[in-house]
Structure 1
Amino acid sequence: MLGLFVFLGVVGVLVLIRKPWRLTLEKVSSYIDQKFVGVEYSTGLLLLPKDELSNMAILQQYKISDILKENIHTIKPAVDIRKGMVTLLFFAFLSLISYQFSIMDYFGNASINNETQELVKFQPLDSTRANPSQPTITTQKLTIIHPSYTNLPKTVTSNMNIKALERSKLVWEVQFDTVIQGAYMEISENEYPMAKQEKGYSKQMLLTESGFYNFKFKDTDDATYISDLYAMEVFKDESPFIKIQGLKQFTSFDFSQSKMLYFKAELTDDYGVEDSYIIATVTKGEGESVKFREERLTFDDKLTSGSRKLVLSKKIDLDQMRMEPGDELYFYIVASDTKRPKANTSRSETFFAVIKDTLSGQFAVAGTMGADLMPDYFRSQRQLIIDTEKLIADQNKITKEKFNFTSNELGFDQKALRLKYGEFMGDEDVAIGPTTEEVREVDTESESNLLEEYTHDHDGNNEHNLVDHDHSEEGDNKSTDPLENYLHNHDDPEESTLFTASLKSMLRQAMAEMWDAELFLRLYTPEKSLPFQYRALKLIQDIKNSARIYVHRIGFDPPPIKEDKRLSGAIDKVNNYSKEERIEQPEEFPFIKKSVERLERLIASGSIPTLDDKELLVKAGNELASLAIQEPGKHLNTLQQLKWISERPVTSSFQLKEVQQGLLAAVPKLKPKPKSTKATESEINSLLLKELELHD
């Protein structure tokens, strides 16, 4: 308020000094020059004496003077006073309507709660000292100062029941009609004195937990008075809520695709979001050689701290994150609110993005065999594919001779790899490169048979037929040994392999694909060779995966076997192990149940509660308080009656019955647990029933 008055004072002083409403001839001349084109920006000549003007200037002065005389009635002031008055009256009428119908209350939070609340009433603890002229409260006020980060105005009310945010500051102020010795507040069985003020008493505290409280004071005659119970309900600041839009939980990309992730994050909080960011983790490699790289990413939109609802967008480029085929990206969103001293933080689900690795197989099982049956050159088919793709990409950058030479060299490498597979299959007689007879045949062939070396000729005598199709002597040398099918004959190239029959067929298919891949490389068309190379690589990867087994690692070392007792069959020292354990759940509300039983005895005998009974009722009240916080309208009256019984003498049995009924209503009802019972049946009874059925 002080700042507003200072601002208005400074503005008033400046207005008085500058006097913006005062018009001068220079301002009028400048206005006419801007509004009228015919004056040719020469109105200022009328303000100058003729002695200071030249002949041309004097002629221009006469001309402007005649123009202004003709148009003097069309000149209007820059500010239309009539429009200003109409606008002023309109907004004055709008303000009157807004004030009359309280329209602005719908657009803002009221800082003062004007609801009427009955004044706090007190009753004496000692009914024998009842004073008809006991002190009463004339004014009561409760001020709730919300935490500063909420930006909520303070609430002033006369209602003593409290429902406020955690860590709100509470200020009670009460005034009595007469002088008293002192006022107190009882909160959870603890008594706190209220500070004496000029016109009453006050108490301040920080709201941290729910509970109940009441007022208490002593008059000048040492009589003690207490009020009814009032509820203090605390609700906590919720964590931010994160909602992801436009993104799947798992996303995969091919290497040739545009590897972009675009999504929006909707962030909401009850009192405002302060910060939000993305935690992204990139993984490279597999198994024990995997590497992690964590980065903190910001959103593309500017984050406005304190907003209750934000919609932020983000575009993640996997290429910019230096991801390669086979790499994986894990990321989640973290958001924090404006709570102090420690902010509430929440995080979203984890989202995944993977770049597919087309050149490596994905294994479905873990572990491997004790012996590595795969030599290093089994993995060279991948390098052939990479070199072929590079040659196709560089075709327009190199000469035709170099292109054909490189394609032919790749065809030779493909042939060498194929023959290496043949050696691993057991074809030890096949060598890399053409033999002397093959060279002699090529030299003597005609020009029409130049491509014979690169074609798949099943009738020719080449290395492929030596591997796959040379079975002419198989029938002549076929053994009649009946055990031949069950022996591993290392003399036969077809059987001297470490693979099973199904794997051998897959490997032969891979070698056939390599043959076709070599053919197109020799014909200088590497783009036609790529499909065959990919199929060969896939078959090789399938063979590698099928050769893997899963070995379960366990951390159990069995005890050594005693050879003297092994296979003896002695089980006299083997005992069965049995364990019986009963898990007992703690009884719910034990003091309330005991209080109900004790009150029944007091009502039946007409006795008054003893000190032990009052202690039991206090414990029952503590148990009931936990229920009353959730449903204060249902149990608050019973809790008040328990407090009266524990602090004042009981005047009637009706009061005990009312308390007993309230405690019975608070005890949760047992849920029925039906179960089937099995009746015992002896052999004599079963025989009797059979006889009765026969003679029925």
Structure 2
Amino acid sequence: MWPLAGLAIIVLGLAAWRLTPLGPLPAAAVARRLDRRYPALEDSAGLLLLPAENLSLLEQFQQQRVAGRLTQLTKSEEQLLPVDFRRPGLLALGLLVAGAAAWAWPMASPRGAIPAAVAVHFNAPPARPGAPAPARILETQLLVTPPAYTRRGEFAPAQASFRCPQGARIRWRVRVSRPVAGGAPVLEMDGHRVAFRPVAGAANMFEAKQIMNASALYRLRFAGTVSDDYAIDVQADQAPAVRILTPRAYTLVPARGARPEVPVRALLHDDYGLSRAELIITVAQGAGEAVKFREVRRDLSGALGPQPAQTTVGSLLNLKQLGLTYGDELYFYISARDNNGHSARSDAYLVQWQDTAQAAGVSGLMGGPKVAPAYFRSQRQLIIDTQKLLAERKNLTLSELTTRANELGADQQALRLRYGKFMGEELEPGLGVTAGPETEAQPAPRAESHSPIAEDDDAPAPTAPAAGHDDHDHEASAPAGGNASPTAETDALLQPYIHKHDDAETADFLEPAVKTKLRAVLDQMWAAELRLRTAQPAAALPYEYRALRLLKEVQQQTRAFVKKAGFAPPAAPEPNLRLTGDLKGAAAPRLQAQVPAPAAQPAVRGALAWLAASTAGQPARPADARLLEPAGAALAQAALQQPGAYLGALRDLRHLLADVRAGRPSCPDCRRTVARALTDLLPPPPPADAAPPTPDRLARRYFQNLSSQPKVNAH
């Protein structure tokens, strides 16, 4: 009540402060209101507030004119500026009624079920004959107030152990037989104590309140008696679950024949209710380094009016309205928020609008050459893409298969040309060569058995001739014929002294052995490219594998291995130790010790031993309670995790402790329940070695007869 009263005082003070300027209304404000209300004053009422000597001739004429009209308005109107108090009065009355209803709402609102008394068992010592009855708790009531985000009303649990949402406010109200000098009842929970407070207007009635954020065990203590342990299972609020029903994770919108629209539907679920849903779209426009990103947000909370626990939301992605063109793409995901502020989001989905150039199937023919090394595909990537094309072959048309295979062939050609630079190949062999008669300066191309168009693909690739550069022994051939160059004689003289690094045969970038394998790699790439260009991906795959294997061998062959520099130990004095027979210090040191294995859960095993002895007839002593108390702590921890399995056993252990302390015979049922629960807490024993199977009756007779047969000596 006090916080509400303080808030009301602050609101009233703020209203009084805002209403104070309405009393002494300034004349300039009155003039402005007159101008707005009466157009006949021609927005010149403010001239009446100025002295006539400070005005010009025209302003003086206007001042006299406005004064005359204001005089006429005063005679015709009862109030020049009437104040209507009806609307403010009705508004103030409505606010007062709403405030009174909100003030009386906690008392008049339904509290759910009326809190009924729950059964709480106390372990009280036996009363002595003739002694007055001890003070005790007669009645216990529980009331659970869930937090506001659950949108659930108050309820009264039917049992002392119950379940509630996280953040719920629990109220315990107890009625005692008579007050005692020791004080009020105490609530013990998780190692701390909460004292009960007297209830105003109710005799011998006490209450305590606690906000629960985690599961716990509690018990009540009053006048030397302690109740059993009871569990409160707190259910945490879960984050919303978002699942997109349509479209798929990747959607390709065709460039022709389909409307550029993609419907989006998603299923949202939460345990207590959803408060907000939003669709976040990221539009990517452009290509290469000129890509621009733009984010668009759409509110989908229209379907969450009553805050349902599960609903379906949807939206329509119109690519043209979002500003997309052919070749652009967008990413979207859906986020949801529940009443408690927890949020979740779905995975990102991709929608791409097919490019018109790709739809026409001319990207591999009319596209420019790939000159950026970052966009080259490796041989391993080509193999993966070829396998993917073979896997999707059944779902592709003949034109799509040919287009994709041609693109892979173009990538294989780019990779082959890239490795050909190491062999001195500046251009494609044969490009720019015109047909004509064979001359010495321009001999006809040689037909090699390892040509990529040869039918015998299994023939071993011939090795390229090694070209040495240290001795400069280059063969010179004198040009002759009609097609000889004018400087042929000069070139022939300089031939022994010139390195032709752009010639595939005399390039000296690599060693001759490496050049041989690299030439074989280029041949395999030639064969793979040929079959990819002719839409035969299955036939090109073996050549791609051979090219990759040879490339790995080239990498291993071009690596340089150096000796690792490190500590070099001195040479052992072998002449002093060899053939002496001295083995002192030769064996490795070994230490052995018999260490007993630590006992697992000694408190539980000690309590089980005492229970076994008590079941056999051993009388109980008050000192035996010290064996059961540590086991009670372990059982309480297990009951906190699994109340349904161990809470009853913990209650029976409390009764057993009370009987042992009082020297009474223990309850047999309690012993069995506690022993079963403590046995479950022990780890499972290691598996014992299985005994060898005993022979059956028939086998025994067979071996007996076999051993009783007389021995015959063979001569």
TM-score by length of 2: 0.47
TM-score by length of 1: 0.48
